[in-house]
Amino acid sequence: MGRLEVDLCGITLSNPVIPASGTFGFGYEFAEIFDINKLGTFSFKGTTKESRFGNPTPRIAECTAGMINSVGLQNPGVEKVISEELPKLKKCFNKPVMANVSGFSVDDYAYTCEKLDKEEQVGWLEVNISCPNVHNGGMSFGTNPNSASEVVKAVKKVTTKPVIVKLSPNVTDIVSIAKACEDAGADGISLINTLLGMRIDLKTKKPVIANTMGGFSGPAIFPVALRMVYQVAKAVNIPVVGMGGVSSAEDVIEMMLAGATAVEVGAANLINPTASLEIINNLESTMDKYNINNLKDIIGGV
**Residues noted as catalytic:** 131
Report the alpha-carbon distance of residue 73 to residue 70 in Å, rounded.
9
Q: How far apart are CA 70 and CA 194, in angstroms?
A: 10
- Three-state SS string over the chain comes to CCCCCEEECCEEECCCEEECCCCCCCCHHHHCCCCHHHCCCCECCCECCCCECCCCCCCEEEECCEEEECCCCCECCHHHHHHHHHHHHHCCCCCCEEEEECCCCHHHHHHHHHHHHCCCCEEEEEEECCCCCCCCCCHHHHCCHHHHHHHHHHHHHCCCCCEEEECCCCCCCHHHHHHHHHHCCCCEEEECCCEEECCEECCCCEECCCCCCEEEECHHHHHHHHHHHHHHHHHCCCCEEECCCCCCHHHHHHHHHHCCCEEEECHHHHHCCCHHHHHHHHHHHHHHHCCCCCHHHHCCCC
User: Is 297 in contact with 29 (CB distance < 8 Å)?
Assistant: no
